[in-house]
Structure 1
């Protein structure tokens, strides 16, 4: 289904150069329109309360940190459930990326991606998809997942447990 009107975006980041860069990129594409750029959480919440947007883009400066446990992201998900949140993040730690998704990020994009990857993530979250990641973010998550190994028969303090003990045999 093709949209007749432009996709309305609010961009939030505390760095003017990032705001300008994202606004310039989105405006260069016919499908997108940045209708608001804000520099802090209070401005973002005020804009979202006053008008509706198709997508919220949170820049690295506002995404949250381990210290606040993504409080802004959780608040956005609670208050504006229908509006997907795409995070533009420098983060490469898989646990933190998963925490962002758990806190409510619909999409994650690295600023080191091609612009087309950002557009694809936005398109997918607008279609209702959840937990969408750009290729670079996916590589970070896949690299971390491949280092995890599981012991199929762990030793629980020298007590071996067999599946047969838990299955009732007629």
Structure 2
């Protein structure tokens, strides 16, 4: 029995681009485009409705949000199992770094879509990451960024995450940090959105991997 096809929502504000990409993707036996979107808001709606394995998302699209990256938290909440592949003309490594930090699984340049997009989609659907090789090399060669909270977490969110990982309840955390339980719950929701991890076990593993439980 053949494995199920990887379902895809294709989001780009140019119909001719969507048409060309759909032709390339639907030609692959294991890929199936289930819907298209022309705005950020449409992309969120179609993704929430279809829950595809992968959303191919143009970085610059019209809509109610400043950029497609601003939609990633909403997309993660609406379809937590959908992986996002950013497809763009922006070849600045800083954009790639920001996209991956915001939760995208892959960053592909439109100039290389015919050779890289199919591979990026397959890797994303398999739980892996993909970055255009040239941009990856530029990022690797760049000076390291100043140390700070990982994955855009605030200092307070890091404190809350550390206490969650140590096994404290929301009430315990509120008492230690002088916060209401509702505020702790809000911080926890933001942490889960940013990290795309929902279970306590996943949060503990993240905290361990990033040294958040090490002694100061």
Unmatched 5+ residue regions in structure 2?
146-216
Q: Counterpart of 2:3?
A: 4
Q: Is 1:19 the counterpart of 2:2 in the alignment?
A: no
Over 3 Å counting, the alpha-carbon distance change for 1:98 and 1:24 in structure 2 is: same
Work out which of the residue numbers 116, 139, 146 in structure 2 matches 1:141: 139
Q: How does 1:123-134 map to 2 (within 5 A)?
A: 123-130=122-129, 132-134=130-132
Give TM-score scaled by structure 2 length. 0.58
Q: Is 1:100 the counterpart of 2:99 in the alignment?
A: yes
Unmatched 5+ residue regions in structure 1?
151-170
Q: How does 1:1-170 map to 2 (within 5 A)?
A: 4-62=3-61, 68=67, 70-113=69-112, 115-130=114-129, 132-142=130-140, 145=142, 148=143
CA offsets 1:3-26 (integer angstroms, 9 cap, x no match): 622211000111111111111110
Question: 3-state DSSP class of the match of 1:113?
Answer: helix
Distance 2:91 2:44 in 1: 27
Conservation of the 8 A alpha-carbon contact between 1:107 and 1:125: yes
RMSD: 2.6
Q: Counterpart of 1:164?
A: none
CA offsets 1:42-67 (integer angstroms, 9 cap, x no match): 22222222222110000243399xx5
Give TM-score scaled by structure 1 length. 0.72
Question: 3-state DSSP class of the match of 1:30?
Answer: coil
Q: Which has the larger radius of gyration?
A: 1
When the two structures are aligned, how many residues end up with a matched partner?
143
C-alpha deviation, 1:139, in angstroms: 3.8
Over 3 Å counting, the alpha-carbon distance change for 1:118 and 1:137 in structure 2 is: farther
